[in-house]
A = this chain, B = another copy of it.
């Protein structure tokens, strides 16, 4: 399993997935800290969560644990941001 994960070019995909997944943690923290979503595009996060949800389904179909876990975390992070954007529009 670890051999498969870290051989050849796969390590690049693994690091890429890790980076694009954790990237939204600082944005979530900023939203929580400032209690503001000013400047954040609702459409961007709606499109993004739709895409990430499909990546998650694709990962399930491919039985790729890294895709499943990574995209699941991305869905949670994006949901938090979306929650605050939609709340701010009320």
Q: Mark A residues whose CB is within 8 Å of B.
A: 9, 12-13, 15-27, 29-31, 34, 36-41, 43-45, 47-48, 50-52, 54-55, 57-58, 61-62
Contact partners of A34 in chain B: CB under 8 A:
39
Top 5 A-B residue pairs of the complex, sorted by shortest distance between their CB atoms? A19-B51, A39-B39, A20-B51, A16-B54, A23-B47
A47 to B67, CA, bound (A): 18
CB closest chain-B residue, reference A48: B23
A90 to B5, CA, bound (A): 41
Q: A51–B17 contact, CB under 8 A?
A: yes
A41 to B12, CA, bound (A): 24
CB closest chain-B residue, reference A25: B44
